[in-house]
Amino acid sequence: MANERLRVAAYAVCVRDGAVLLARWVGPEGKLWTLPGGGIDHGEDPFDAVRREVEEETGYRADVQSLLGVHTMRRRYARRFGGETDFHALRIVYEARIVGGELRDEIDGSTDKAAWIPLPEVASLARVDLVDTGLELHRSRPATGHLGR
């Protein structure tokens, strides 16, 4: 029987002057670019979580503009000491605008770098699927908040 794990997180799509704000996540698969954001603390509102996470990972203060959508991802992976985990990620994706702060890298966190990446360069980056999902939500703005994939 698989160990079930649910992770609920909030992320920001920040696009400015033809570039998107990304953070480089350091995970088991190596260093991959992702949208700034992360896990929602117990009792925390997702709206507050995304603003906290953007500031933690990039140094910027963000103003949430709109809810772009909700995306889920599910995968199974082997556990270190046997068995497997059935992982389900629920990702709340917002559009946000930077309103203050200065770009900096996170210290002692899950990311090691923050940068504005020109949109045409995103496709060549080592990145998590959430980057493409967030940019597609930003581009298409589905009324349901769901891409239907």
Residue 129 belongs to domain with CATH number: 3.90.79.10
124 within a domain of the structure (yes/no): yes
90 within a domain of the structure (yes/no): yes
Domain count, the chain: 1
145 within a domain of the structure (yes/no): no
149 within a domain of the structure (yes/no): no
Is it the case that residue 18 has pLDDT exceeding 80? yes
Is it the case that residue 53 has pLDDT exceeding 90? yes
Mean pLDDT of 106-119: 94
126 within a domain of the structure (yes/no): yes
Conformational region of residue 76, where left means phi above 0, alpha means psi within -120 to 50, and beta covers everything else: beta
> What is the H or E stretch that residue 3 is in?
strand 3-13
- Under DSSP, the state recorded for 127 is B
* Whole-number pLDDT of residue 149: 59
147 within a domain of the structure (yes/no): no
61 within a domain of the structure (yes/no): yes
Which residue in 107, 97, 90, 110 sits closest to 33, CA to CA? Answer: 110
- Span 116-146, pLDDT tens digits: 999 999 999 999 999 999 999 999 999 999 9
Residue written as token pair 């963000």: 62
**Burial (CB count <10 Å: 0-12, 13-18, 19+), residue 116:** middle
pLDDT > 70 in the chain, percent: 99
pLDDT band at 1 (very low <50, low <70, confident <90, very high): low
The Cβ of residue 74 has, within 10 Å, a number of other Cβ atoms equal to 10
Q: Structural domain of residue 52, as residue ranges?
A: 3-140
pLDDT band at 28 (very low <50, low <70, confident <90, very high): confident
* Whole-number pLDDT of residue 107: 87
115 within a domain of the structure (yes/no): yes
